[in-house]
Structure 1
Amino acid sequence: MTRSHAKNNTSGSVFTYYERNRTEYGSKTQRIGADSMKKIDACYLCLNSVRNPVACSKGHIYCKECIISSLISQKAQIKAHQASLESYAAEEQLEREKARAEARDRVLRDFERGLGLGGAKIAAKPKALAEKKVELGRDPAKQDVSVKLIEGPTGDERGVKRKFELDESAMERLAREAEDAALKAIEAEQAESRRAKLPSFWLPTLTPEATIGPLKDVKLQTMCNVGEHPHPLALKNLLPVHFTYPAASKTDSTKATPICPSCSREISNATKSILLTSKRPAHEETTDGPAPSKKAKKDKKDKEEVVCGHVVCSTCADTIVKPGKQCPVCEAHIRPDKDVIELGREGTGFAAAGGAQAKREGVAFMP
């Protein structure tokens, strides 16, 4: 009773379960039936049976036409985003230059104001010192004293006159420090002026002390958006997929269910299926000779293409493919640690198979 009241304490007692689910308030969960699940051989973009199927490195299957169209549209969006980032960077540069110029003007105003306030005292000191020198200079006995008072002792004693030197680097450093101090003072004044204008003080980005930092270097690239965590995807990294269908349904494979070419077991969302991605055909032989360089290995790896792409069930992959290290269909060489990818699959409508619930997050403001 307590838990139910804590979850629904802002809802009226006249609300029914159906009406509460229809509202756009709070988090919503919905169980998904078998009719809403994608088939194992269906495209993640068009949701139809795949035509010329390809897969990414995570095992997500697409029609080749669909994924190429998606990558082209993503590249167009990336170009537009790059143009906006360049305009933002130019605006930031102008803002920094404007702030620097304002800080420099403040330093100059403070310097001029200081000279104006202390000008009379500074001008009076040389005159008083000259009068004192004349008075002391009248008496020959005090002539040496006058010289000592003005010029100071000679030799290695303290107070000897030294030549004033100020190089250009020191001047630039002092000017830069003064500009930085003035810039910090300007930012503090702006934060103080914003304090009374921002009612949403609890938001970290809207606090008076918050400053808009520089744009971070974002690596713009095409992505595979299937799953909770999207990952980078390029056209050259797409892997071919070859499903095997029963002999009686080769003419119309859109209504048939793919099978494992080794054991003829149906492949569906209820079973794990493995994609074999070998780049070494069966007739390839190892050559004896000197080991190739790293550059030669890299060039050869870039030029290699996937020659297998057959889909088998997980049982055959564990009992036949991995121990024998070759595909049961084309006999291509298989590396168990690199050339085996589990295909992505959705649930079956049952809770035990997973993927049977969809959730939408929402914010519920409690009074």
Structure 2
Amino acid sequence: MTRSHAKNNTTQSTLSYYERTLLRKDGAARRLGRDSFKPLDACYLCLSKVNDPVSCSSGHIYCRECCISDLISQKAGIEAKKREMERWEEAERLEREEAKLKARERVVSDFEKGMSLGGSSTVKRIPIGEDKDKSTTKSKFELDNNAVEKVAKKAEEKALRVMELEQSESRKAKLAAFWLPSLTPEAKLGPLKDVKLQTLCHVGGLPHPISRKTLLPVILTYPPSSTSKPICPTCTKELSNATSSILLSSRQPMHSADGDGDEGRKKKKQKKDKEEAYVCGHVICQTCSDTIVKPQGRCCVCDAKVEDSGRIPLGKEGTGFAAAGGAEVKREGVAFRV
């Protein structure tokens, strides 16, 4: 009984269109349409219009409630991971101690076998003219403890290197986080307590740290129509995924630069470790940022001081115009063909 063609359709020289769609090649890619993109003013977590928007240091926008709830859930997972890492560290310590003990025992046993301490005694010849009783007395063998200790130490170091290599491979399988510097292939094996676990923003190509203190306020400007898209507050240009938007962040308001001398003396008395709150979070277009904000170094809406590091590109979906790869989704796999 022959099998059906549907189960062996990859063995034929000519395939139909439907059969070619079933045969996915390695790295098959599909281009996404505009309906698959998130709007510019939508949250990356709930995908709805942002409510009390905040942003990470890379310009990814969230609802404040969604972001804080995600940070809380990540912290709960980190605490559970820390307790698990403590158990791993204790297990690794016991494995290293056991490996050192076995290496020392093996070295001592090999040394004793090599010196024939565990075997039968050899018969010594008696020269002519010597007393038989004097010649039959055996000289005591003294074990060189320093030599044994030296060889045992080398064996322990070798066993520890092998054990560290095995533990490093097993640790990378347990903590599958390639962005942690302690888990890179060239990183040396250190204590698990040195592995820094922190809350991350997983939007974008590479996860990056995020915390409640580093959240940036976002101020979106809308026209009188409540259902319309956000606009640039300076040129009233509509902001969308097809345009480049810039988020302005600053800790220095307008009155801080033009304050009196008394205010300056008061600020010197304040503690330096206390950072001021962010006072700007306006979103403007790329053109206004390059022509107005960059030359003056101030926000075009609230006149807050904005440095070069305070102009952050706002995250968007798609490619904008001529970029490649941002509007595609890929699936990695293996195509079997007989």
TM-score bucket (shorter structure)? 0.7 to 0.9
Match of 2:332 in 1: 361
Letter matched to residue 119 of structure 1? S
Q: Does structure 1 conserve the Cα–Cα contact (< 8 Å) formed by 2:108 and 2:152?
A: no
- CA 1:179 to 1:24, structure 2 compared with 1: closer, same or farther past 3 Å? same
Match of 2:213 in 1: 236
- CA 1:118 to 1:176, structure 2 compared with 1: closer, same or farther past 3 Å? farther
Q: Counterparts of 1:283 and 1:13 in 2: how far apart (Å)?
A: 76
1:1-367 residue pairs with structure 2 within 5 A?
A: 12-13=12-13, 15-22=15-22, 26-113=26-113, 114-117=116-119, 119-121=121-123, 124=124, 128=126, 134=131, 172-177=149-154, 183=159, 217-247=194-224, 249=225, 252=226, 255-285=227-257, 300=272, 302-335=274-307, 337-347=308-318, 355-364=326-335
- CA 1:40 to 1:18, structure 2 compared with 1: closer, same or farther past 3 Å? farther
Q: Does structure 2 conserve the Cα–Cα contact (< 8 Å) formed by 1:37 and 1:348?
A: no
Letter matched to residue 229 of structure 1? L
Q: Counterparts of 2:270 and 2:56 in 1: how far apart (Å)?
A: 21
Q: Counterparts of 1:117 and 1:353 in 2: how far apart (Å)?
A: 77
Deviation at 1:33? 0.7
Q: Counterparts of 1:281 and 1:180 in 2: how far apart (Å)?
A: 60
SS in 2 for 1:284: helix
Residue correspondences, number: 289
Q: Does structure 2 conserve the Cα–Cα contact (< 8 Å) formed by 1:53 and 1:64?
A: yes
SS in 1 for 2:78: helix
- CA 1:314 to 1:179, structure 2 compared with 1: closer, same or farther past 3 Å? closer
Deviations 1:190-209 (A, max 9, x none): xxxxxxxxxxxxxxxxxxxx
Deviations 1:106-140 (A, max 9, x none): 2343344421336225xx37xx47x75559x9xxx
Deviation at 1:69? 1.6
Q: Does structure 1 conserve the Cα–Cα contact (< 8 Å) formed by 2:222 and 2:228?
A: yes
Unpaired segments of 5 or more residues in structure 2?
Answer: 1-8, 135-141, 164-187
- CA 1:363 to 1:63, structure 2 compared with 1: closer, same or farther past 3 Å? same
Which has a greater percent of helix? 1
Letter matched to residue 315 of structure 2? G
Q: Counterparts of 2:71 and 2:207 in 1: how far apart (Å)?
A: 14
Q: Counterparts of 1:116 and 1:345 in 2: how far apart (Å)?
A: 77
Unpaired segments of 5 or more residues in structure 1?
Answer: 1-8, 138-163, 188-212
- CA 1:11 to 1:108, structure 2 compared with 1: closer, same or farther past 3 Å? same
Larger radius of gyration: 1
Q: Does structure 2 conserve the Cα–Cα contact (< 8 Å) formed by 1:34 and 1:348?
A: no
Match of 1:206 in 2: none
Deviations 1:53-80 (A, max 9, x none): 0011111111111111211222222222
Letter matched to residue 44 of structure 1? Y
Q: Counterparts of 2:320 and 2:285 in 1: how far apart (Å)?
A: 21
Q: Does structure 2 conserve the Cα–Cα contact (< 8 Å) formed by 1:279 and 1:305?
A: yes
SS in 2 for 1:116: coil
Q: Does structure 2 conserve the Cα–Cα contact (< 8 Å) formed by 1:260 and 1:311?
A: yes
- CA 1:313 to 1:96, structure 2 compared with 1: closer, same or farther past 3 Å? same
Q: Does structure 1 conserve the Cα–Cα contact (< 8 Å) formed by 2:111 and 2:148?
A: no
Deviation at 1:18? 3.9
Deviation at 1:11? 5.5
Q: Does structure 1 conserve the Cα–Cα contact (< 8 Å) formed by 2:107 and 2:151?
A: no
TM-score, structure 2 normalization: 0.72
Q: Counterparts of 1:270 and 1:283 in 2: how far apart (Å)?
A: 36
- CA 1:281 to 1:351, structure 2 compared with 1: closer, same or farther past 3 Å? closer
Q: Does structure 2 conserve the Cα–Cα contact (< 8 Å) formed by 1:274 and 1:311?
A: yes
Q: Counterparts of 1:311 and 1:171 in 2: how far apart (Å)?
A: 73
Q: Counterparts of 1:272 and 1:263 in 2: how far apart (Å)?
A: 14
Deviations 1:129-158 (A, max 9, x none): 7x75559x9xxxxxxxxxxxxxxxxxxxxx
Deviation at 1:19? 4.1
TM-score, structure 1 normalization: 0.67
SS in 2 for 1:275: strand
Deviation at 1:92? 2.2
Letter matched to residue 243 of structure 1? L
SS in 2 for 1:338: helix
Q: Counterparts of 1:49 and 1:329 in 2: how far apart (Å)?
A: 23
Q: Counterparts of 1:69 and 1:116 in 2: how far apart (Å)?
A: 69
